[in-house]
Structure 1
Amino acid sequence: MAIIDITFPAKILRVLGLPESSPRRTQLKVLKKLLRKARFTEFGQQYRFDEILLSKHPGKKFQELVPTYNYNKIYKDWWHKTLEGVPDVCWPGKIKFYALSSGTSEAASKYIPVTNDLLRGNKVTMYKQLFSLRNYEDIPVKSIGKGWLTLGGSTELQWDSVGFYAGDLSGITQKKSPIWFQAFYKPGKKIAKQKDWNKKLADIVEKAPQWDIGFIAGVPAWVLMCMEMIIKRYNLNTIHDIWPNLAFYVHGGVHFEPYKQSFDKVLAKPLTYIDTYLASEGFLAYQNEQNACSMKLNIGEHIFFEFVPFDEKNFDSDGEMVDEPETLMIHEVEEGKDYALLISTSAGSWRYLIGDTVKFTNTDKCEIVITGRTKHYLSLVGEHLSVDNMNKAIQLVSEELHISIPEFTVTGVPHGNFFAHHWYLACNDNVNSEQLRYLIDEKLKELNDDYAVERKSALKDVFLDILSEEDFLTFMRIKGKMGGQHKFPRVLKGKMLQDWQTFLEQTKKPVN
């Protein structure tokens, strides 16, 4: 039976937008709400939001009149004005908060606008996910009321004299969180403000015996490191020796399966894993059923979604979107195809390429899986290898060999007159590298027909080096990418690849 057997009043369900009507109708309602709110802004006036609202087909009119944007373009044309204190640019009023985001490969920080309207929409989405726990089974109810440990970035925000705060989204969210949440929130305000990630982890380890944790949220690599540090510090067998009520782990941003075996080693009993899709630009999707392999797209609140088929017609070889891509609305997508996401939000992001690719597993329920990044895929010779393919291959090989591979990255390299792929894996288990290389190659051939074809043609070989997990973490420290929001890129290109190769040479790690 469900852990929370409650029938909620219709009024509460209506406020949360549950249940939703047809996806098309729901999304058009969201679009009209966004357009009405922003029609008197500079952006809304230039792109004739009033005309779109009067149109019989506002979705198509919106696509016709408003151009698509990536970060560099929307910053250059619009968002730079908001950083100078100009109000009513892309969203009503002055922007008082910016989430600093560098993604997984770019060095320069991006300033993503965060408004009260966006935070309100994120909060409602969080409540929807909490309400979905009523559908979960065999989970101790008492764990919900215990401490919620969030391993995020520093909540200490930077103040700019122009009149805005900037920092991690987790810091902004914490600053605006309701009073009731403080009773559950760990590690507490003092530790959460700590900017030195190593010091923050050390403080959490020190305080761990004083807490009764039921929930943990954060990126898998950092959460695992924290639990391992606690186990070592107090000479425990598992994390449940100190937190017996730990039952939930909320994760997002990366595929979890490569980490599962490593998590199992530090647990005395299974956790319920809950996937989320929370980006600096908004709370896009969440897992709403126990053991689900997909997430429900958040179509009814504060985000209007469009979908660009992720193919050579719409993206170049570097993953850059063309100027006038083919764009589809929610009712036009098909299951099993890769799409890049465009979002329009209540923070003044308009037809904005967020950089992720998704695949629909159920169009009626609007359920998706994240398949990768537009710039994090390999197609040197037409092999079209996605991060989703890589994750699945690693998962299958890990299960077959009973090993843990918590981190990996791949790059394309010249090989004579042709090309090859070079894998770098973190694995502390005893494994034969040649067997591992062979199995990954074979799994990819099974998962991806294009890859199988090119392995007989221009993709001549596969190289593989086994490193320690500490090597990956050390490189992230050197790059200044320590902390809850940072993930190791699954595909290395450009400057990041050069820095990685330099790091391996300096530490005398094998480089083919």
Structure 2
Amino acid sequence: MALIDISLPPSIAKALRLPARSPRRQQLRVLRKLLKKARFTEFGQTYRFDEILLSKHAGKKFQQLVPTYDYNKIYEAWWHKTLEGRPDICWPGKIKFFALSSGTSESASKYLPITNDLMRGNRIVMIKQLLTLRTYHDIPLKSVGKGWLMLGGSTDLQKGPGYYAGDLSGITAKKVPFWFSPFYKPGKKIARTKDWNQKLEAIVEEAPNWDIGFVVGVPAWIQMCMEKIIERYNLKSIHDMWPNLAFFVHGGVSFEPYKKGFEKLVAKPLTYIETYLASEGFLAYQDRQFAKGMHLSLNDHIFFEFIPFNDKNFDSDGNIMEDAEVLMIHEVEEGKDYAILISTTAGAWRYLIGDTVRFVDKERCEIVITGRTKHFLSLVGEHLSVDNMNKAVQLVADEMNICIPEFTVAGVPHGLFFAHQWWIACDDKVDAEPVREKIDQKLKDLNDDYAVERNSALKDVYLKILPESSFMEFMRLKGKIGGQHKFPRVMKGKMYEDWVKFLETGAI
């Protein structure tokens, strides 16, 4: 049975047949739906949702009456009440699940509310993405009906006073719809395992019993899983075990640094499908083969706003300014970086998710993720984004025929000026100096500001090559292995201090 041919619940099927509208009209419809549902909450009463709904210009009125929030601001003002068990704060009812964010930028976990409405919206977007596979060419759709290996967090969630908390992937797996259960691997028993190494060992043990067509997860952990299966059973490629494996659905981090490593593990090409599934919601997905970017989910459960990511709207630490310019979907331009504000069916309102995106096709509303508001380097005006870094690393890896699956960068003092310190993961035999020179040159080619500052206050670039295992061990010591955890591309603050200590002592 092919997964995309199964019967869907009537409510979901109805949602999937919504008529096409302009992006602006779609988004205003979503906003009104959110406001109507939350009008009687404490948040809705405070910020006069009824008044916004009566306005002819609901979008602008919403922006006038409701302030913008980052995590700390909305938690201190509102979300701590939901964590205490109080109902009807930012969304109707009592919040029973909280996603613990992967926290690449900060040491403390964030508690993000998860509602049934949000999970339903995420499932609808997932099904829409599945239906788009019909438009892909020359791919074995029979693989969609095979097993799906979803390598996520544990479904054995932390129990709090009246709620459960854990990795979003663990919550999602725990609440897998009944119609999806026959396809879902590794199964509920293994999914409950909290210890990452034990979970991986159990998956490797069961691998011969599965016929996997899809793998879903963060590239680093999927690659590690495949490598262990190939090693355990002395295989030439993962296709010796799973001949129907055809798709890899990934997200949360650029796939390009991992692509060369993946190609060594397969006997035939995989179709790579990018998604933008954050703990706060399913924001976007690749809906056609060879697309420039991911299509924003405009007609479902998230209202988007966009803040031009520049010095006028953000300070040097990536914090939003009080008078920041905020745009709606019809006001954005191609080729510019924006930070995203979202309002969702989980009671996130005008919430700064922390990612930056760029529209690569405005007509199709397709975006690429370019980095994080706090994960960029601009010590002296070089404005170096994670997207710049990813592209430079990819170009150098291809040019030198080496694999660089992980890297991180930090700004460091250089006398009275500054320098960039790179650490890259590479298990191939290669000298650091040519890699350093090539990455530096590629960044000059990609970023004019960087090129100017390299002749001014950005005095040097340092680079050290480490084994990939060093990066994985650091993540293990930080308790951030497996699930949705990603290695931070820019090191700042406490994370940087721990990284330096780890490199010096092997501990944190």
Q: TM-score range by the shorter chain?
A: over 0.9
Partner of 1:62: 62
Aligned-residue CA RMSD (Å): 1.8
1:378-432 CA-to-partner distances (Å, cap 9, x unmatched) read 0000000000000000111111111110000000000011111011000111222
Map 1:87-486 to 2 at 5 A.
Answer: 87-161=87-161, 163-486=162-485
1:173-228 CA-to-partner distances (Å, cap 9, x unmatched) read 22222112110000011110000001100111111111111000010011001100
User: Displacement of 1:102 after TM fit?
Assistant: 3.6
CA distance change for structure 1 residues 157 and 4 in 2, over 3 Å: closer, same or farther? Answer: closer
User: Displacement of 1:4 after TM fit?
Assistant: 8.8
Alpha-carbon distance between aligned partners in 1 of 2:52 and 2:405, rounded to the nearest angstrom: 48
Q: Which amino acid aligns with 1:165?
A: Y
CA distance change for structure 1 residues 148 and 298 in 2, over 3 Å: closer, same or farther? Answer: same
Q: Which amino acid aligns with 1:46?
A: T
Q: Which amino acid aligns with 1:74?
A: I
Alpha-carbon distance between aligned partners in 2 of 1:19 and 1:388, rounded to the nearest angstrom: 35
Does the 8 Å CA contact 2:292/2:366 hold for their aligned counterparts? no
Matched residue of 1:180: which SS? coil
User: Identity of paired residues, percent?
Assistant: 72
Q: Which runs of 4+ in 1 moved over 6 A?
A: none
Alpha-carbon distance between aligned partners in 1 of 2:438 and 2:330, rounded to the nearest angstrom: 39
Map 1:4-83 to 2 at 5 A.
Answer: 15-17=15-17, 20-83=20-83
Does the 8 Å CA contact 1:68/1:324 hold for their aligned counterparts? no
User: Displacement of 1:19 after TM fit?
Assistant: 5.4
Q: Which amino acid aligns with 2:467?
A: S
Does the 8 Å CA contact 1:428/1:468 hold for their aligned counterparts? yes
Matched residue of 2:180: which SS? helix
Alpha-carbon distance between aligned partners in 2 of 1:378 and 1:222, rounded to the nearest angstrom: 27
Alpha-carbon distance between aligned partners in 2 of 1:261 and 1:293, rounded to the nearest angstrom: 20
Q: Which amino acid aligns with 1:145?
A: G
Alpha-carbon distance between aligned partners in 1 of 2:460 and 2:18, rounded to the nearest angstrom: 51
Matched residue of 1:91: which SS? coil
CA distance change for structure 1 residues 218 and 87 in 2, over 3 Å: closer, same or farther? Answer: same
Matched residue of 1:394: which SS? helix
Matched residue of 2:261: which SS? helix
Alpha-carbon distance between aligned partners in 2 of 1:14 and 1:156, rounded to the nearest angstrom: 33
User: Displacement of 1:350 after TM fit?
Assistant: 0.2
Alpha-carbon distance between aligned partners in 2 of 1:43 and 1:286, rounded to the nearest angstrom: 30
Matched residue of 1:403: which SS? coil
Q: Mind listing any 5+ residue stretches in structure 2 that lack a counterpart?
A: none
Alpha-carbon distance between aligned partners in 2 of 1:312 and 1:169, rounded to the nearest angstrom: 33
Does the 8 Å CA contact 2:12/2:124 hold for their aligned counterparts? no
Q: Which amino acid aligns with 1:286?
A: Y
CA distance change for structure 1 residues 140 and 312 in 2, over 3 Å: closer, same or farther? Answer: same
Alpha-carbon distance between aligned partners in 2 of 1:490 and 1:418, rounded to the nearest angstrom: 22
Does the 8 Å CA contact 1:4/1:135 hold for their aligned counterparts? no
Does the 8 Å CA contact 2:169/2:483 hold for their aligned counterparts? no
TM-score (norm 1): 0.96
Matched residue of 2:56: which SS? coil
Matched residue of 2:89: which SS? coil
Q: Which amino acid aligns with 1:152?
A: G
1:268-310 CA-to-partner distances (Å, cap 9, x unmatched) read 0000000000011000000001122300000100000000111
Alpha-carbon distance between aligned partners in 1 of 2:179 and 2:117, rounded to the nearest angstrom: 20
Alpha-carbon distance between aligned partners in 1 of 2:329 and 2:52, rounded to the nearest angstrom: 18
Q: Which amino acid aligns with 1:284?
A: L
Q: Which moved more, 1:46-55 or 1:286-295?
A: 286-295
Q: Which amino acid aligns with 2:25?
A: R
Does the 8 Å CA contact 1:13/1:19 hold for their aligned counterparts? no
Does the 8 Å CA contact 2:90/2:348 hold for their aligned counterparts? yes
Alpha-carbon distance between aligned partners in 1 of 2:210 and 2:24, rounded to the nearest angstrom: 45
Alpha-carbon distance between aligned partners in 1 of 2:496 and 2:234, rounded to the nearest angstrom: 38
User: Displacement of 1:448 after TM fit?
Assistant: 0.2
CA distance change for structure 1 residues 471 and 28 in 2, over 3 Å: closer, same or farther? Answer: same
Does the 8 Å CA contact 1:273/1:291 hold for their aligned counterparts? no
User: Displacement of 1:12 after TM fit?
Assistant: 8.4
User: Displacement of 1:375 after TM fit?
Assistant: 0.3
Q: Which amino acid aligns with 2:460?
A: D
Does the 8 Å CA contact 1:154/1:194 hold for their aligned counterparts? yes
Does the 8 Å CA contact 1:409/1:492 hold for their aligned counterparts? yes
Does the 8 Å CA contact 2:319/2:373 hold for their aligned counterparts? yes
Alpha-carbon distance between aligned partners in 2 of 1:78 and 1:17, rounded to the nearest angstrom: 35
Matched residue of 1:179: which SS? coil
Q: Which amino acid aligns with 1:116?
A: N
Does the 8 Å CA contact 1:152/1:485 hold for their aligned counterparts? yes
Matched residue of 1:181: which SS? coil
Q: Which amino acid aligns with 1:73?
A: K
Q: How many residues align?
A: 503
Partner of 2:496: 497
